[in-house]
Every structure is written in C-alpha cells, then in structure tokens.
Amino acid sequence: MSAPAAPVTGPYRRTPLAPFAAAVTGVGLVTAAGTGVGAAWHGVTEGLVPSVGPRPELAELPCDFFYSVTDCDPREVLGVAAQRLMDRFAQLAVVAAREAVADAGLDPAVWDSGRVGIVIGSAHGGLPFYDEQHAALTERGARRVSPKLAPLSVVNGAASSVSLDLGVQGPSQAVSTACSSGTVAIGTAHQMLRSGACDIVIAGGAESTCTRLLIASACRLKAVSTRREDPRAACRPFDTHRDGFVVGEGAGLLVLEHPDHARARGATVRAHVSGYGASSDAHSAVAPDPDGLGIERALRTALADAGLSPADVGHVNAHGTSTLSNDLIEAAMLRRVLGESPLVTSTKAMTGHTLGAAGGIEAALTVLALQHQLVPPTANLDAPDPLIEMDVVAKEARSASFDCAVKTSLGFGGHNAALVLTRA
C-alpha cells in the first residue's frame, strides 16, 4: 500500500485518531440471493437474479414484484413460539446473527456477555406487523389490536431479539438512517470497539418491507422499476436503461472484535473494518446532493480514519440503486475521489434493494470479496451508461488482487456513510 494519507484539511477537516482495524471474525447472511454465507456468495458471484413473479396484492400498481427470501423459513430455525414474538425483519436478523456467531467460533454460553454489544440498522422496523395491526383496527375494532404492537413494530426489534436470543448483556442499539442504516451500524460498532466499550460487537442491518403500502409509496415516488414484463431484468445498476430499484428483504451481520481479543482467542479473521465516515447532505428529504459532496465527505473521512489514500482502494461495493440520479451522482463522486481504477460493483440486482439492511449485506459481501479476491458482477448491466466513467464489473465476477475495499451508502434525508475494509 502507499504511504498513509495526510491529515484531512479544508471542508473535510477532522481530528486525527490513530488507525484502528476491527477484526471481522464472523459473517451471517440471509438474502434473496441465498441464505447462509455459502449460498449467498454463490448466488451473487454467479450473478443469479432471483426468480420473481407478479404479486396479486400489487396488481393495480406500476410495480407488482419484489425480491423475497425463499430458502429460509425462520420458524424452522427459531421455533414457532419464538418467531411469534418477532416481526419478520427481526426473525431474519436472528438467523443471520446465529450464523455469524457460529462462523466466528464463539460460544454465547461462555463469552463475557457484558463485553458483547449489538448494533443493528433498519429503515422501517416492523412495518408488516404495523400494517397488519392497522388493518385489524380499521376493519375489526380496537379489541382486535395486538398488545405486541410496540415490541414487534419498533426499529429496535432486531437488536432486542438478537440480544435476547444470544443472551447479550452489553450495549444493544438500533440505528435508523434510512438506506445507510446497516453501514452506520457497522461504523458505530467500529467506534465502540475502538473506545474499549466492548470486546465483540454484532453489527449490520435487517429489513423486511415487501408490503403493498411501501411499494405503492415507492411507485408514487418513481423510485422502483416498473419493468413488469421482465422483472428479473428490472434492477440494472449503472445501465443506460435503468428505471429504478426492486425492493428486497434480508439481513447481513458481521461479528467484529477488538484485534487484541481476536488474537488472544486465536480467531480466524476474514477481513478488517479499518475506517468509517458519515455525513449529512442537508439538501433534500428524498434526493441526494446533486454534486455528491455529502457522500464524498463520508468517503474521504473514512479513508483518513483508516490512514489510507484513495490510491489504495482496489474495489468499491457501491450503493448503486439503479435509479437514474443516484447512479450518476455516486459514480461521478467515486471517479472524483478514487480515479477510474477501482473495480466497482453493485450487488443489488441479485439481492434487491433491502433498504436499511443493504449496508450490512453489502459490507458482508465486501468482506468476502477481500477474502476471495473476487469482485461480484453487476447483473443486468447490458448497456453501460457512457456518463459513468468507472470500471464497473459486468456479467461475470472478476478475479483481482486488492488489499483495500470501500462500501458506500446513501439514505433518504441525506444520510451518507462509508466503510473502508482491508484484507486480513
């Protein structure tokens, strides 16, 4: 790698801290591309877009499809009684957390539970249960509303459920910064480990919002694809003919450890989270800053936090939503900051846009890309937009040698976040 970057000045001024690399020792994934690290990584690297068909409940909408998790029934993992106490997004989080903890070689029965933390992001929390209970109220009256509405619908439901399931007694937090929630959660975990508040933090995102209400709203906003005749080709980041994203569901969680803790127990380290930056656009409730200055600030801050320079970055897992403005703004920013050399991909064509879970899922995929030295393809990229002057990996995964990768996320309200991940 090149020499560490000089302290950031000007509009990106910050107080320099000594670089700190949190060890990623476990990964858990539940996605439309596959459940479990092996299945999800296979689906994503092979560019396998999930089968999807029209949903009867969405028949009157311009978009009548979404990507759902089809190879995981949480009831089989959690048991019927336990899953009844969680909305689906929390169920998916618990499944992912159990895999991540097992992957890390940790045993909740013997760890120091007071030194273990949880940070899980979600944009909407238990929206399906909230919708269900609103229908019960309007159609059948107040006596039919469940007393479980609050614990099942709130955004902290995933963090709470994982804490209860694993017996975690350290700090447990929920993050909600729209579509950057999962990335912010991992960045917050990085800061918790750096501060010494925890030895281990389970962090990422979880979301399940494939509801008629949300998709109807997204249609009104013109954010989702209306390619009803060919839904598997609907999500096409960086393609000239993109017209919006496809809503998905899932969870992606990492086990992060203080490097001293991981070393002391002889843990296998998949990669490191070495830098984090966040910012706000202060521009619009729904549209990103057209100049991309907010996400640029987050990325430059993350690089400075890691003590690395733009020249060190070999791969970017971009936010890449397949909307016209987001892809142009993000790509222009990446070119401005990193040049044209990093290999860029968006994995949303295989997972759908999982909103608050996206950063967690995509950070996990970036960890695997570093470990395997393989960049997943951007599926459905048939006609690259000539205005996007980056090396976007299309159609087939590409082998490469790189020690540093970046995950960028943008969210409604102008919430931006970036992670710098480095090879173990």
Token pair for 243: 């017209």
Tell the burial category of 250 from Cβ atoms under 10 Å away from its Cβ (0-12, 13-18, 19+).
Answer: buried
Is 345 in contact with 316 (CB distance < 8 Å)? yes
H/E element, 317: strand 315-317
d(CA 227, CA 401): 37
d(CA 95, CA 291): 39
Angle between helices 127-140 and 212-221 (to 10 degrees): 110
d(CA 202, CA 101): 8
Is residue 372 among the annotated active site residues?
no
Which residues does 253 contact at the CB level (< 8 Å), separation at least 6? Answer: 27, 28, 93, 96, 97, 100, 120, 202, 203, 204, 205, 206, 360, 364
Token pair for 125: 């929390």
Given 235, 353, 404, 415, the catalytic residue: 353
What radius of gyration do the chain's Cα atoms show? 20
Is residue 261 among the annotated active site residues?
no
Is residue 283 among the annotated active site residues?
no
Q: Residue 396, Cβ neighbours under 10 Å: how many?
A: 11
Given 179, 210, 219, 404, the catalytic residue: 179
Token pair for 210: 């494939």
Query: Which residues are known catalytic residues?
Result: 179, 319, 353
